[in-house]
């Protein structure tokens, strides 16, 4: 959605390693924002984005208008079932319908062979993979690792909303994930115990308001109660720091 940072640029670099031609789409998508969310205030700077894309030697920028994407009397949406009902879907009920719809529209416009998405939006990545599989789309989805600031904060366009104090307090997200990994590496397999320790750490941060912490099976996004050997999981967190809602996660293998 633009306001590019190093996380976005890492996707571009991965594309350039894999593909002959790299196209970047920038579109702040109104249908994935809820009524009380930050669509109007979402950070935008197309001139800056364009300079960054030129510095990365991107071949094309696809910058459609809202009117081009959503024609008058638009009424067709893509709804991926089940996986969208929990976690982000619980707190943002129309979000994934908007995501799936715009991604399919962009795929139809550009017709890429590969599409690169960041792991920071892990549930979004899973939803897109499910849509591509179910609708038999001829595109390969590549998930790319989270890119973090030096202190561990996951890069996000919304980080610019944070005050200097909130910026420091936002580290509780990545710190809680590191705590979880430490507890798991000590042999703990009870999800309740792990999440309880994370919750205690987050509750000590004055500006935090937790939406959820969950551990899910990496492939299915089913909620886990007990960690099993030789399985992969995501530890997922969504938390408001002041008025800014941030998400983060880490992928683990037991």
pLDDT, residue 193, reads 98
Task: Quote the Cα angle for 153-149-152, to 5°.
Answer: 45
Of 135, 68, 120, the closest CA to residue 236 belongs to 120
CA distance 34 to 43: 16
- Quick one: tokens of 25? 């789409």
**Annotated active-site positions, please?**
8
- Quick one: tokens of 155? 């890069």
C-beta of residue 236 within 8 angstroms of C-beta of residue 87: yes
Alpha-carbon 116 to chain mean position: 12
pLDDT, residue 251, reads 97
Question: How sure is the predictor about 214, in pLDDT bands with cuts at 50, 70 and 90?
Answer: very high
Instruction: Give 124's contacts (C-beta < 8 A, 6+ positions apart).
Output: 88, 96, 99, 117
Percent of the chain with pLDDT over 90: 99
pLDDT, residue 206, reads 92
Give, for 201, the enclosing helix (H) or strand (E).
helix 191-203
Instruction: Give 246's contacts (C-beta < 8 A, 6+ positions apart).
Output: 154, 156, 158, 159, 170, 173, 238, 239, 240
C-beta of residue 237 within 8 angstroms of C-beta of residue 121: no
Average pLDDT, the chain: 97
Output b/e per residue, 162-200; b: 16+ Cβ within 10 A: beeebbebbbbbbbbbebbeebbeeeeeebeebbebbee
pTM equals 0.95
Task: Give tens-digit pLDDT for 188-211.
Answer: 999 999 999 999 999 999 999 999
pLDDT, residue 44, reads 97
pLDDT, residue 64, reads 98
- Quick one: tokens of 135? 């609708």
* Residue 232: strand pairing partners: 253
Task: Give tens-digit pLDDT for 99-111.
Answer: 999 999 999 999 9
pLDDT, residue 135, reads 98
Give, for 210, the enclosing helix (H) or strand (E).
strand 208-217
Question: How sure is the predictor about 41, in pLDDT bands with cuts at 50, 70 and 90?
Answer: very high
Of 59, 43, 51, the closest CA to residue 110 belongs to 59
Residue 138: Cβ within 10 Å count: 9
Give Cα separations from 221 to 69, 78, 180 (angstroms). Answer: 30, 19, 18
Domains for the chain: give ranges and CATH numbers. 6-144 (3.40.50.620), 157-253 (3.30.1300.10)
């Amino acid at each position: 959605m633009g306001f590019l940072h190093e996380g976005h640029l890492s996707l571009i670099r991965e594309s350039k390693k894999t593909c002959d031609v790299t196209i970047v789409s920038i579109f702040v998508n109104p249908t994935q924002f809820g009524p009380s969310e930050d669509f109007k205030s979402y950070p935008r700077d197309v001139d800056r984005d364009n300079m960054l894309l030129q510095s990365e030697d991107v071949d094309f920028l696809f910058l459609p208008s809202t009117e081009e994407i959503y024609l008058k009397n638009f009424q067709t949406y893509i709804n991926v079932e089940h996986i969208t009902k929990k976690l982000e879907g619980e707190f943002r009920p129309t979000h994934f319908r908007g995501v799936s719809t715009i991604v399919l529209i962009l795929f139809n416009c550009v017709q890429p062979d590969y599409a690169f998405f960041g792991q920071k939006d892990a549930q979004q990545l899973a939803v897109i993979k499910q849509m591509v599989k179910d609708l038999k789309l001829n595109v390969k989805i590549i998930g790319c690792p989270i890119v973090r600031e030096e202190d561990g904060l996951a890069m996000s366009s919304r980080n610019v909303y944070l005050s200097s104090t909130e910026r420091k307090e936002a580290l509780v997200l990545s710190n809680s994930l590191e705590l979880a990994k430490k507890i798991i590496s000590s042999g703990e397999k009870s999800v309740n115990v792990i999440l309880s320790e994370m919750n205690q750490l987050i509750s000590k941060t004055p500006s935090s308001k937790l939406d959820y912490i969950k551990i899910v099976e990496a492939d299915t996004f089913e909620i886990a109660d007990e960690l099993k050997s030789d399985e992969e999981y995501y530890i997922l967190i969504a938390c408001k720091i002041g008025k800014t809602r941030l998400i983060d996660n880490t992928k683990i293998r037991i």
